[in-house]
Amino acid sequence: MSEFKAPPLDVSSILHGGIHHPTLRSWQSNGRNLTKSMFIYPIFISDDPDAEEVITSLPGQKRWGLNKLEGFLAPLVKKGLKGVILFGVPMKMEKDARGSAADDPSTPVIQALHLLAKLFPQLMLTVDVCLCEYTSHGHCGILSSLPNPGHSNQPTIEMEPSAQRIAEVAVAYAKAGAHCVAPSDMMDGRIRAIKLGLMHAGLANRCALMSYSAKFASGLYGPFRDAAGSAPSFGNRKCYQLPPNARSLARRAIQRDSREGADILMVKPALPYLDIISDCAQYAPDHPTACYQVSGEYAMVVAGAEKGIYGLREMAFETTESMVRAGASIILSYFTPQFLDWLDEEQ
């Protein structure tokens, strides 16, 4: 009778030993765990001082008037909110071709900066810098009267005047107390123009520059445009935002912006562009990588949860952790208030 011989044990075949306890599972993240200070909360500031308006396409989010900001933010700051990004929503202000309202002293974000700096001196104040909320045509730059040679229904952007105008607005926000300015327009040359503007104003050492370096022409901005009233009146933004297939162009934009003086680089949207987040962390390893889980991504996660496809908290964690895993250390997220609670709870 031949003797039974057990096959040699393969010690590398067993993985479950390392994940059977919640603490063990948390150690599998290579030290990249979600923390409250990673989150920046996007806030819409209305020019109606008493506004507290529900945004139907962006569930749970509102447009806030100046008089409501303290009541809204104080409990969040108490729970550990570290940063916000402000978007101005001029509902009543006049719009013109160069977006003059963007840096008018009465514009809602400038007023909000003064107020928030007083109310919450520890809160980091980032401001989105773009013209689209303030221009009559809804585009992010200054338009040329020349037709676009590629498409008659598309704008032609005047590069140099647009970058200069955007720099002017960014400097006005820095003067009003912004700790960080974040240009989202995707105009060539704007990072350099803003950095030089901040330097000339003596503000470059106390205002960070976060570039939306890799901003794709995405279908996921719909609810935001509704929230901020910034949909273009004709054409679209495909001539200045990146095409979704453009991985190499995104790498070039990331490298260019780091050379032009950006302090932080951002990828946007986040979930369909995890490869770009990973590229950003790899190609600009000496800059923090941020990503923006944009309005449409947020609305999708919420809608799926409402349909019972998954739990809201579970999917908010899974999507956000995927961004951190890909290389992001800063997350702009409409889920920020929930995470301030969730991260206190037992995981």
Ligand X SMILES: NCC(=O)CCC(=O)O
Binding site for ligand X (CB under 6 A): 128, 130, 184, 221, 224, 294-295
Closer Cβ to ligand X, 41 or 120, answer by number: 41
Query: Secondary structure of the chain: what % helix, strand, coil (to 5)?
Result: 40, 15, 40
Q: How far apart are CA 345 and CA 34, in angstroms?
A: 13
Phi, psi of 210 (to 5 degrees): -105, 115
Locus of tokens 């107390």: 177
Q: Based on the shown chain and the rule CB under 5 A, indicate whether residue 184 belongs to the binding site for Zn ion.
A: yes
Q: Based on the shown chain and the rule CB under 5 A, indicate whether residue 132 belongs to the binding site for Zn ion.
A: yes
Residue number closest to ligand X, CB atom: 224
Closer Cβ to ligand X, 253 or 294, answer by number: 294
Q: Is 130 annotated as a binding residue?
A: yes
Q: Which does 224 bind (CB under 5 to 8 A by kind): ligand X, Zn ion, none?
A: ligand X
Q: How far is the CB of 135 from ligand X (least distance, A)?
A: 14
The rounded Cα 239 to chain-centroid distance in angstroms is 20
Tokens of 45: 């500031």
Interface stretch with Zn ion, choices 180-188, 239-247, 255-263, 267-275 (CB under 5 A):
180-188
Catalytic residues: 215, 268
Q: Which does 198 bind (CB under 5 to 8 A by kind): Zn ion, ligand X, none?
A: none
Element (H, E) at 23: helix 22-26
Q: Is 280 annotated as a binding residue?
A: no
Beta strands in 90-167 (DSSP E): 124-129
Residues 137-166 that bind Zn ion (CB under 5 A): 140
Measuring CA to CA, which residue among 25, 19, 15 is closest to residue 346? 25
Closer Cβ to ligand X, 221 or 240, answer by number: 221
Q: Which does 101 bind (CB under 5 to 8 A by kind): ligand X, Zn ion, none?
A: none
Q: How far apart are CA 58 and CA 295, in angstroms?
A: 7
Binding-site residue ranges for 5-aminolevulinate: 225, 237, 295, 334
